[in-house]
Amino acid sequence: MPKIDMDAVPERRGSGYPDPFKAAYANRIKQPLGDAAGLTQFGVNLTRMAPGTGTALRHWHENEDEFVYVLEGELVLIEDEGETVLRAGDAAGFKAGVPNGHCLVNRSDREAVILEVGTRAPTERGHYPDVDLMAVKDGGGFKFIHKSGEPYA
Amino acid sequence: MPKIDMDAVPERRGSGYPDPFKAAYANRIKQPLGDAAGLTQFGVNLTRMAPGTGTALRHWHENEDEFVYVLEGELVLIEDEGETVLRAGDAAGFKAGVPNGHCLVNRSDREAVILEVGTRAPTERGHYPDVDLMAVKDGGGFKFIHKSGEPYA
């Protein structure tokens, strides 16, 4: 059945970031809708963010296009040039390989909800300009390492 | 600027289907949001459908995953097994290579709006089980041909 049973899609609460980055994303909940439908070429998450949390640490991808559409609430898009408010009905796209870190932060007093889409490339490097973190994928899932290449303990 | 200026995204009204299939999609309007952000790995359209029209002729793709999320209104998903109603907040996914033709039709009395996402594979065959039509792409854009391989006049 191609229609997705939204109530049956698991909720992934929090992030896979290592300490000390993990705490800020404890109130972020993702439902992997694309996975639920058996899709493999791109991921689609329905992501809910409580006030004070956001989509991710500011980052950019070498190989994977990204797209977000705001369904509810208000988020602040942060990138090299500064900040831009996104409200319900707004959208943004992030072309793979453009070295401009981005994230969306919920500074409002109510939940924000987005659809986020990202290509599933077999290998990837995610760059985090503000912190000592890199995301690497070589055929499996993402792992987080220091910029030196050392693993997080 | 990653934020998409929605008012500046061109509206593609109607379809590229040959006659006699074209008329039923005259009141379908697509805004290519992914293209507007420079994305190339997948397409994202904001698609508005007046009563009586729909997403497409019933079809399936060999190579490209597809995903839809209903933003407004009500649509009927038609596939081999029958019909399923999708309302705002519902979603569906269609895995590449699954030979189950699908489309969404607006049988309601008001506009329906969806976000639709599809991979951009370099080569593709789109199959239309109900009509004498095939969509082919070999490195360029889609062309529509008869199932015999003959072009439409």
Contact A103, A116 (CB under 8 A): no
Structure tokens at B19: 């006659």
* Backbone φ and ψ of B67, nearest 5°: -145, 140
- Taking only the tens place, the pLDDT of each residue in B28-69 is 999 999 999 999 999 999 999 999 999 999 999 999 999 999
Q: Per the CB < 8 Å rule, is B42 touching A2? A: no
Q: Which of A41, A66, A69, A76 to mutate to test the interface with B (most CBs of B within 10 A)?
A: A41
**CATH number of the domain encompassing residue A52:** 2.60.120.10
- Taking only the tens place, the pLDDT of each residue in A9-62 is 999 999 999 999 999 999 999 999 999 999 999 999 999 999 999 999 999 999
Answer yes or no: is A129 within a domain. Answer: no
Place of tokens 């507007």: B36
- B140 pLDDT band (50/70/90 cuts)? confident
Q: Per the CB < 8 Å rule, is A65 touching B34? A: yes
Answer yes or no: is B139 within a domain. Answer: no
Answer yes or no: is A83 within a domain. Answer: yes
Size of interface A-B (CB pairs under 8 A): 126
Dist CA A94 CA B30 (whole Å): 20
Neighbouring C-beta atoms of residue A72, cutoff 10 Å: 13
Contact A63, A124 (CB under 8 A): yes
Answer yes or no: is B131 within a domain. Answer: no
Range of the domain at B60: 6-122
Answer yes or no: is A40 within a domain. Answer: yes
Dist CA A132 CA A18 (whole Å): 11
Answer yes or no: is A151 within a domain. Answer: no
- Taking only the tens place, the pLDDT of each residue in A47-62 is 999 999 999 999 999 9
Q: Residue B13 carries which side chain, given as an amino acid letter?
A: R
Which residues make beta-bridge pairs with A47?
A30, A114
- CB contacts of B69 in chain A (<8 Å) are 33, 44, 115
Answer yes or no: is B18 within a domain. Answer: yes
- B153 pLDDT band (50/70/90 cuts)? confident
- Taking only the tens place, the pLDDT of each residue in A98-144 is 999 999 999 999 999 999 999 999 999 999 999 999 999 998 889 99
Closest CB to A93 among B38, B46, B94: B38
Q: How many domains does chain A have?
A: 1
Answer yes or no: is B97 within a domain. Answer: yes
Our CA-based measurement puts residue A66 at a distance from the nearest CA of chain B, in whole angstroms, of 8
Q: Per the CB < 8 Å rule, is A44 touching B93? A: yes
- The pLDDT of residue B31 is 98
Place of tokens 């963010």: A49
